[in-house]
Amino acid sequence: MGLFTRRAAPIDANTTTSTASRRERHHREPKTSSRGPHAWNSRPTFGQWIKATALDIVSMAVMGAIGLGVYMADPAPSRSFPINFQDGEIVYPQFAYPLRNEIIPIWAAALMASLIPILVFLICQIRVRSFWDVNNATIGLLYALITAAVFQVFVKWLIGGLRPHFLAVCAPAIDTLPLGTGYHQIMYDRSICTGDKKQINDSLESMPSGHTTAAFAGFVFLSLYLNAKLKVFSNYHPAMWKLIAIYAPVLGACLIGGSLSIDEFHNWYDILAGAVIGTVMAFSAYRMVYASIWDFRFNHVPLVRHAPFVYGAGPAEEHGFCDAVFTRKAGWGTLEGSAWGGAPGDAAEGARGTVMGQGAANGRGSHGAVLGHGRRSIERKPVSGSRYGEHVV
């Protein structure tokens, strides 16, 4: 396990008492004790990890069971569809494609969307060497994949739609069709189908695409991770291969989704819906486990439980996470190289990238606490009052 940490002293991942209440100055060498800034980046014991992660494990298991149950259930609505006009012309030829084998099976898409990102996370640990980085990346990836999967199976079950090969799977007996319903009596339901029940159920649940949902949830999350570790959109001019690296996973997701239109398993709007769902879940999950999505100063820093991350400009402390990047260009990966940064509106005196310790969590550091070079932050004073309390600036 030495690959994931350079710090030997474990911390209690479920309390705030194991972190330092004091902040190191940016020009000092960070401490390596369990109460110094590096304490947050030390590997916990298995019991501490279970204590901090048990609720997530239970939640993922429950959501997985719910998603599997909905996936195995029959489609909820009874969808109507036309077959032929009275002259024999097929009403919707876009649903009359032949049933073909999938170019990429759903199990292969799910495995690629999970195992390829995890492999990249592990490769990045050659330089990052942080247990909490690989932990948060893997947990966040599972957040995205499981949540997206459950979301899309509910939409499939309740809304669904006809796959391009629906009529071929339904196999209605044209010569013995009864009189239908609706205008000119051309609408029917699945009761006229003579094909395999399982295939008919599947062909009634086209929207959204499960392949595309899984691919975009996993590979967009990986793209965000690589952007943070390589600092592609950052404060220096990166090499072109890094731009290619962060968009290669997105290309993979597009190819997986696009293949479903070639093998006639999905309509274009099914693929688009799956891409939107997967992307939204990937962004949401990444922001849950890392300090930012786009802000290059913080988007590589894994968040810890029960202690907030303090944003602002100033010395980069990050409590051991300043080197949790893969790139070493422009000083990234060193405390000194990325020591200062800020954006318009930031508190210039605030310590940049600090995990709030126990003292700050108890109120110290919020009003006049010593920050940065020992100067005090500006007191926030009430400017007006109301029956709902005072407003502060």
Amino acid (1-letter code) at residue 376: R
- Give, for 384, the enclosing helix (H) or strand (E): strand 382-386
Residue 349 neighbours by CB under 8 Å, 6+ apart: 312, 314, 371, 372, 375, 376, 377, 378
- The domain limits of the chain are 45-289
- Asked if 290 contacts 136 with a C-beta cutoff of 8 angstroms, the reply is yes
- As averages over each run of 10 residues, the pLDDT of the chain (393 residues) reads 50 40 40 48 83 90 92 82 72 83 89 95 90 93 96 92 88 74 76 86 90 96 95 89 96 94 90 96 96 87 81 61 77 65 51 56 39 41 44 33
Q: What is the dihedral of CA 279, 284, 285, 290, to 10 degrees?
A: 120
- Asked if 78 contacts 190 with a C-beta cutoff of 8 angstroms, the reply is yes
Count the helices and strands in the chain (H runs, E runs).
Answer: 9, 8
Task: Report pLDDT for 74.
Answer: 85
Among residues 29, 39, 28, 35, the alpha carbon closest in space to that of 6 is found at 39
- Asked if 373 contacts 38 with a C-beta cutoff of 8 angstroms, the reply is no
Among residues 376, 335, 371, the alpha carbon closest in space to that of 23 is found at 371
Task: Report pLDDT for 311.
Answer: 73
